[in-house]
Amino acid sequence: MRAHDVIVAKRDGGRLTDEQIDWFISTYAEGSQIADEQAAALVMAIFLNGMDDEEVARWTGAMIDSGDRLDLSSVDRPTVDKHSTGGVGDKISLIVVPLLAACGAAVPQLSGRGLGHTGGTLDKMEAIQGWRPEMSLDQMRNQLNTVGAVIAGASAALAPADRKLYALRDVTGTVESIPLIASSIMSKKIAEGTRGLTLDVKVGAGAFMGDLASADALARTMVRLGQAHGVATSALVTRMDHVLGHAVGNGLEVAEAMDVLAGGGPSDVVELSLALADDMVRLAGLDAVPADVLASGAAMETFEAMVAAQGGDLSAGLATAEFRREIRAQRSGVVQGVDARRVGVAAWHLGAGRARKEDDVSATAGIVCRVRPGDEVQAGQPVLELHADDEQRFARAEAELAGVDLIGAVRIDDEAYVAPPIVIEAISEP
Ligand code: URA
């Protein structure tokens, strides 16, 4: 088989055969016989011409087979996980993973680092002093049986073909493709060994999917892939136009997640956490009521146990940034929106995210949105609080957020604001 022929077949709008897909993925994952430029050409052809359901299923299967599929059969609680397609201020895993464990499930969340303006769960957890993402499979199984919750780094042995392809897609403008996103996410989640999976598919200005039709198609494709591989999968399509909660940035988000675990926190973060948790409890076949478990404090206890089991020290407190600046409202009125993309990009300029995967991220940099859609503000009132370790970083962040009135990141006008529900639809059938 020749890579050239596979590329030409997809370039010309044809479908790839099972043999072509298996050969291309396994050969590319193994080494040097397929060049990066050939793999990049194929993913661009897929980006432009798509893949049908059978091709996506085969592509996903080949990516799973390029590495290990974890065996969690010795875990004695039902396993269930969640995955978000990426949002700004999305600290939901830090709440839902311990919450589900406190409900009686085992949550084996293998996670990644952030790239660009959306943050990664590992980066957030690493804001906790001493916390380590590295775990052997035995340590993971043991912690799932004792604490019930694990957040850890995905090993290089899990879907290695996706690791290589995702890095290529990131630099070749081929990330935002439904078949490529669906197969990338699902190959990793299926390989992780969970029996149940709730997907949080974001739609809106701050998400990969800008419109509902695309988000719906992505959600259904992923639900189909999960179910075809024996994972009970469902999806919630949720709004990502505004920042989720108040905090954007690694340590700032940990603090906000802990506020929710302590029974407080912003209402949208609580609403989304409970919607996802309710679905996960259903998939895991448990009777627990997540809202009651959250209110009991049991989820906070599980979070503390999970952090401690991985070397984290919460008693040390979370570090805070050396420098702060405020951005003030230029007019009075009602907040209509806090633009997720602009705030995400600004937080990234402040040091909360990375431009290349080798870069370090700051544990303390980020943005606290002092207002939420629907809040009344007075001209001159602080609406955004910028945090950085290095004063040089403020200028680019402030430029990204500029014009904090009708056109800036915080949109203010005179109309009343009615908050739409955060969950747009729930999909459990493909
Ligand atoms: N997250 C992934 O893991 N893969 C994608 O393709 C997009 C988001």
What would the mean pLDDT of 145-156 be, rounded to a whole number?
Answer: 93
What would the mean pLDDT of 338-347 be, rounded to a whole number?
Answer: 93
Atom of ligand 1 nearest to the CA of 181: 6
- The pLDDT, as a whole number, for residue 314 is 97
Q: Please determine, for residue 116, whether its predicted confidence score (pLDDT) is greater than 80.
A: no
Whether the CB of 191 sits within 6 Å of ligand 1: no
Whether the CB of 166 sits within 6 Å of ligand 1: yes
Which of 111, 162, 181, 208 has most ligand 1 atoms within 8 Å of CB, for mutation? 181
What would the mean pLDDT of 59-87 be, rounded to a whole number?
Answer: 95
Q: Where are the domains of the chain?
A: 3-50, 81-155+171-315, 323-413
Whether the CB of 115 sits within 6 Å of ligand 1: no
Phi-psi region of 351 (alpha: psi -120 to 50; beta: other; left: phi over 0): left
Interval between CA 283 and ligand 1 midpoint (Å): 23
- CA 44, 49, 50, 54 torsion-angle sign: negative
Domain 323-413 falls under CATH 3.30.70.860? no
What are the pLDDT digits (tens) for 220-259? Answer: 999 999 999 999 999 999 999 999 999 999 999 999 999 9
Active site residue 268: no
Q: Please determine, for residue 114, whether its predicted confidence score (pLDDT) is greater than 90.
A: no
Active site residue 188: yes
For atom 6 of ligand 1, the residue with the nearest CA is 181
Q: Please determine, for residue 48, whether its predicted confidence score (pLDDT) is greater than 90.
A: yes
Q: Which CATH architecture has domain 3-50?
A: Up-down Bundle (1.20)
Whether the CB of 185 sits within 6 Å of ligand 1: yes
What are the pLDDT digits (tens) for 251-268? Answer: 999 999 999 999 999 999
Q: Please determine, for residue 406, whether its predicted confidence score (pLDDT) is greater than 60.
A: no
User: Which residues, including other chains, have CB under 8 Å from residue 322's CB and lie 6 or more apart?
Assistant: 364, 388, 389
**What is the SS3 assignment for 336-385?**
EEEEHHHHHHHHHHHCCCCCCCCCCCCCCCEEEECCCCCCEECCCCEEEE
Q: How far apart are CA 218 and CA 178, in angstroms?
A: 6
Q: Which of 124, 169, 242, 354 is catalytic?
A: 169
- If you average pLDDT over every residue of the chain, what do you get? 94
Active site residue 273: no
**Could you tell me the strand order of the sheet in which 247-248 lies?**
247-248, 366-369, 382-388, 323-328
Q: What is the pTM of this model?
A: 0.94
Percent of the chain residues topping a pLDDT of 70: 97
For atom 2 of ligand 1, the residue with the nearest CA is 185
Residue 387 main-chain phi, psi, to 5 deg? -120, 135
Closest CA to 371 of 327, 415, 341, 416: 327
Which pair of structure tokens corresponds to residue 144? 């799932």
Interval between CA 181 and ligand 1 midpoint (Å): 5
Interval between CA 177 and ligand 1 midpoint (Å): 10
Q: Which of 162, 200, 259, 278 is catalytic?
A: 162
Q: Which CATH architecture has domain 81-155+171-315?
A: 3-Layer(aba) Sandwich (3.40)
For atom 3 of ligand 1, the residue with the nearest CA is 185
What are the pLDDT digits (tens) for 195-213? Answer: 999 999 999 988 888 899 9
- The pLDDT, as a whole number, for residue 32 is 79
The confidence band for 272, taking pLDDT boundaries of 50, 70 and 90, is very high
What would the mean pLDDT of 396-400 be, rounded to a whole number?
Answer: 94
Interval between CA 185 and ligand 1 midpoint (Å): 5
Interval between CA 184 and ligand 1 midpoint (Å): 5
Strands 196-203 and 80-84: parallel
